[in-house]
């Protein structure tokens, strides 16, 4: 099944590019089913019962660590609560050297899920505006997405063109997810439940303590061990990398794709019925692609 996401800001005041100030908004996402991009509805799909796998483990965590889970929803869905105007209120900066970067989320200036910086940082864009590289001369920009439970870095690769318009190509570095041996800044994402491995990051603090992990789709640029434990997956840069093409003068993305895979760490536990016969492995549940297209009708000569 293919779902198409359309994004917009709700009640966003006009940006004023003078000084450092902030404006508040709520992000609005409209999810629409796209049948022509989906497989035949009669095609059978075999998949583990995810709620059956997750809830017994969460129940054990709740019994052992009662303060860990305080507001577990009675409903479970892959895109639950992600259609329409989101509940989060974001405050973003408008000064040109920080334009589009988040200053506060629901009144907080950090992510509460992690214990220390840089993991607690919210200094990233939600994908609509970036500080112009022509002004900042920076090789890095950052994106924040609630579903990722963190900001992610994008590194400048080269100058390109998009529909005749000059753009800077930024890519997600291959050490962004995973062990601190390949990236020391990832150390603060480690937990006692996480065995560090390249390309895989735990986000259980954002998922009610469930053993949920993020990675690139099809374990692209991840440790071979992850790919070898499952069948069919075939990682390809063109299909599975995260990248943005950003206009260097305005900081507006001409094209961008954030691609993320959600995984469940399945461990054999003889006392937990749903997983007592499972082998230990990382199960890829689904992967998502959020697309950003901007400035379709902009005249290239105005940006030369």
Residue 164 is predicted with a pLDDT of: 93
High-pLDDT (> 90) share of the chain, %: 38
Q: Per-residue pLDDT tens for 112-171?
A: 989 899 999 999 998 888 999 999 999 999 999 887 889 999 999 999 999 999 999 999
In tens, the pLDDT along 28-56 reads 777 777 788 777 778 887 777 776 666 65
Query: What was the pLDDT predicted at 64?
Result: 43
Other Cβ atoms within 10 Å of 182 Cβ, number: 17
pLDDT score recorded for residue 274: 64
Q: When comparing pLDDT for 263 and 51, which is higher?
A: 263
Q: What is the pLDDT of residues 281-296, one digit of tens each?
A: 899 988 988 887 654 4
Longest dimension (CA), the chain: 67
The span from the CA of 263 to the CA of 211, in Å, is 8
Q: What is the pLDDT of residues 57-107, one digit of tens each?
A: 555 444 444 444 445 555 666 666 666 666 778 888 888 888 889 999 888
Question: For residue range 12-29, what is the model confidence (pLDDT) as tens digits?
Answer: 434 434 455 888 877 777
Tell me how far CA of residue 242 lies from CA of 86, 146, 191, 245, in angstroms. Answer: 23, 16, 25, 11
Q: Give the pLDDT score at 12.
A: 40
Would you state the pLDDT for residue 299? Answer: 42
Q: From CA 67, how far away is CA 123, in angstroms rounded?
A: 28
Q: Which carries the bigger pLDDT value, residue 2 or residue 276?
A: 276
Domain residue limits, the chain: 3-39+50-73+83-303
Rounded Cα gap, residues 257 and 161, in angstroms: 16
Please tell me the predicted confidence (pLDDT) of residue 119. 93
Q: Which pLDDT value is given to residue 130?
A: 93
| 155-212 pLDDT, tens digit each | 999 999 999 999 999 999 999 998 888 899 998 988 777 778 999 998 888 877 778 8
Does the predicted TM-score (pTM) go above 0.85? no
Supply the pLDDT for residue 95. 80
Dist CA 85 CA 120 (whole Å): 24
């Amino acid at each position: 099944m293919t779902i198409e996401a359309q994004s917009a800001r709700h009640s966003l005041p006009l940006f004023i590019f003078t000084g450092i100030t902030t404006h508040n908004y709520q992000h609005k996402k409209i999810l629409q089913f796209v049948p022509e991009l989906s497989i035949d509805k009669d095609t059978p799909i075999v998949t583990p019962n995810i709620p059956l796998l997750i809830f017994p483990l969460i129940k054990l965590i709740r019994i052992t660590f009662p303060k860990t889970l305080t507001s577990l929803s009675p409903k479970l869905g892959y895109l639950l609560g992600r259609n329409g105007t989101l509940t989060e209120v974001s405050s973003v900066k408008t000064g040109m050297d920080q334009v589009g970067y988040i200053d506060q989320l629901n009144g907080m200036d950090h992510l509460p899920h992690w214990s220390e910086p840089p993991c607690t940082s919210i200094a990233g864009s939600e994908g609509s505006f970036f500080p112009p590289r022509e002004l900042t001369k920076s090789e890095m920009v950052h994106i924040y997405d609630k579903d990722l439970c963190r900001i992610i870095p994008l590194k400048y690769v080269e100058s390109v063109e998009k529909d005749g318009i000059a753009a800077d190509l930024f890519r997600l570095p291959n050490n962004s997810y995973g062990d601190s041996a390949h990236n020391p800044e990832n150390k603060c994402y480690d937990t006692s439940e996480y065995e560090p491995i390249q390309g895989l990051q735990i986000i259980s603090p954002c998922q009610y303590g469930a053993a949920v992990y993020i990675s690139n789709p099809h374990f692209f640029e991840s440790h071979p061990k992850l790919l070898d434990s499952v069948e069919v997956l075939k990682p390809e840069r063109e299909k599975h990398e995260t990248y943005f093409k950003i206009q260097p003068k305005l900081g507006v993305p001409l094209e961008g794709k954030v691609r993320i895979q959600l995984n469940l760490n399945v461990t054999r536990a003889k006392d937990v019925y749903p997983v007592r016969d499972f082998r230990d492995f990382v199960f890829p549940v689904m992967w998502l692609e959020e697309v950003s297209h901007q400035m379709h009708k902009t005249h290239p000569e105005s940006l030369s």
